Copies of this chain bind each other. A is one copy, B any other.
Amino acid sequence: MHQDHFLPPAGAFTRSVPIRFSHCDAAGIVYFPHYFDMFNGLIEDWYTEELKHDYAELIMGGRVGFPFVHIECDFKIPSRMGEVIELTLLVERIGRSSLSVVIVCHRDCFERLRARMVTAMMSLETRKPVPLPQPLRAAIESYQQRTALALP
Instruction: Give the 7 A-B residue pairs with the shortest CB-CB distance, closest first.
Output: A56-B82, A72-B72, A33-B36, A33-B33, A27-B65, A56-B81, A26-B28
In-complex Cβ contact of A54 among B54, B70, B72, B82 (8 A): B82
Interface contact A55-B21, CB-CB below 8 Å = yes
> In the complex this chain forms, how many copies of it are found?
4
8 residue pairs from A and B, CB less than 8 Å apart: A21-B31, A22-B40, A26-B27, A28-B60, A32-B36, A36-B36, A57-B82, A67-B75
How does the 8 Å CB contact mask read for A34-76 relative to B, with 1 for contact and 0 for none?
A: 1011001100100000000011110110000101111111110
Chain B CB within 8 A of A94 CB: no
Chain B CB within 8 A of A29 CB: yes
Give the interface of A toward B (CB within 8 A). Answer: 20-22, 24-29, 31-34, 36-37, 40-41, 44, 54-57, 59-60, 65, 67-75, 78, 80-82, 124
Interface contact A31-B22, CB-CB below 8 Å = yes
Q: Given the known A-B contacts A24-B26, A26-B21, A55-B21, are A75 and B82 also in contact in the complex, defined by CB atoms under 8 Å?
A: no
Q: What are the residues of chain B within 8 A of A74 when measuring CB–CB?
A: 69-70
Q: What are the residues of chain B within 8 A of A40 when measuring CB–CB?
A: 20-22, 32-33
Q: What are the residues of chain B within 8 A of A29 when measuring CB–CB?
A: 65, 67
Interface contact B32-A20, CB-CB below 8 Å = no
Measured between C-beta atoms, what is the minimum distance from A108 to chain B in Å?
A: 17
Q: How far is the CA of A76 from the CA of B40 in the complex (A)?
A: 19
